[in-house]
Amino acid sequence: MSKNPISINKADLSENVKNELEQLANEKREFEAREERKSALIQMGSDRAQLNPLSQMARALVSGRNENRNFNLSGNTVTADNVQPIAESLKPSMVLAQSGVQIDDFSGYGDLVYPIETTAPVASYVAEGSGPSASDPTVTPYTAQTHTATALVKVSRQLLASGNSVDEFIERSIANQVGLQMENAFFANANVTNAPTALSQVSGVTDIISDANGRTLTNYDELIDLKKSLRNANANGKVNFYMSPNIMGGYAKLKDGNDQPLVPSTFVFDELNEGYITSQIPNDLTKGSGTDLSTIFAFTPEAVRIAIKQNVVLRLDERYADELSCGFLAYVFHDVIVTRPSAVAMARGVKFA
């Protein structure tokens, strides 16, 4: 005996019945949404436990073991032909990376030799059957040294237990501290112990300020002289200016005779020139009787290279146990090389009144 389905017109139902059916449908939809959310949370917790290196290291620490891990910045593995991830992580704190200075990652490689141009090559015309005269070497080899930039980040166990993207926070904090430390030594007034040679101390870099007591800036002339010095040295292409926030603020406040902002010549800033501001350039230089002086650097990005000899390593140690905290010790082996000193100029010993 076949059964025929019964068809009911919704318009024939009473309001009470329609309300009850609507309520049942809503309850079903809410139940399905809760179950879907529960499954997503369970999967998220599983993924975080597997992918978060900090949580893995914390579990190892509880078991009494310390762990060393290569910390792949931005979640990517950095190889010799794929250095963009580490550059991207350093960019927020390093104006060198932002301005186009090349970062070479040679983790796991041996000696890394860079050619340093000490004097520009000399070309000449010769008569038929004659050859050029021998000249002094213009390029010398430089083997990248191993300098260690390190940072210690203290993290509470309560924060680690929260699981609220702690790994991303620690990554940003470490990249920021290491990047600032690298630039602090590079732009220092004098060489920093155990760090790469400070830019102001590199042989062959031109200083345009000859004033015994430094110079008070009143216009954009020094920037023009810096660029002119580089062009005279045949440093073509993009020129970057690097200055402290104090110097930047002084330039921003310059006024003309009508008390309007002083507009620099287009020769100073055009499509081939950019200004970069970093707090890592000090403002405490003393020159003769001049105090609280700073330095403005100018160079083409190709004149400087950053060599990463070992990627950032993160080590978790139980060094704050009595404070219910952990210590994340990060370090990177690197060097900063000026491959063409003649393409670097500086105004060393300047300030605004």
Instruction: Read off φ and ψ for residue 259, nearest 5 degrees.
Output: 60, 30
Residues in contact with 92: Cβ distance below 8 Å, sequence separation at least 6, in sequence order? 172, 175, 176, 179
Q: Please tell me the predicted confidence (pLDDT) of residue 17.
A: 78
User: What is the sign, positive or negative, of the torsion defined by CA atoms of 6, 7, 10, 13?
Assistant: negative
3-state secondary structure of 170: helix
User: What is the sign, positive or negative, of the torsion defined by CA atoms of 247, 252, 256, 258?
Assistant: negative
Q: Hunting for tokens 């080899």 — which residue is that?
A: 141
User: What is the sign, positive or negative, of the torsion defined by CA atoms of 169, 171, 174, 176?
Assistant: negative
- Tens of pLDDT along 298-343? 999 999 999 888 766 667 767 788 888 878 777 788 899 999 999 9
Q: Copy the structure tokens of residue 116.
A: 């340093």
pTM over 0.85: no
Q: What is the dihedral of CA 77, 80, 84, 88, to 10 degrees?
A: 70
Residues 19, 27: Cα–Cα separation, whole Å: 12
3-state percent breakdown (helix, strand, coil) of the chain, nearest 5: 35, 30, 35
3-state secondary structure of 76: coil
| Residue in 22, 346, 39, 38 with CA at minimum distance from that of residue 201 | 346
Q: Copy the structure tokens of residue 319.
A: 């060094």
Q: What is the DSSP letter of 145?
A: P
CA 223 from chain centre, in angstroms, equals: 25
Q: Please tell me the predicted confidence (pLDDT) of residue 49.
A: 44
Residues 332, 294: Cα–Cα separation, whole Å: 28
Strand pairing class (139-143; 113-117): antiparallel
8 A C-beta contact, residue 158 and residue 333: no
Strand pairing class (147-156; 325-338): antiparallel
Q: Please tell me the predicted confidence (pLDDT) of residue 320.
A: 84
Residues 232, 116: Cα–Cα separation, whole Å: 19
Q: Which residues of the chain have pLDDT under 70?
A: 1-8, 10, 37-91, 107-109, 135-137, 163-165, 167-168, 171, 271-272, 311-314, 317
CA angle (31, 33, 39) in 5-degree steps:
105
> Which residue type sits at 220?
Y
- Tens of pLDDT along 46-58? 444 444 445 444 4
Q: What is the DSSP letter of 322?
A: G
Element (H, E) at 326: strand 325-338
Give the domains, in start order, of the chain with CATH numbers: 27-120+133-353 (3.90.1690)
Q: Please tell me the predicted confidence (pLDDT) of residue 76.
A: 36
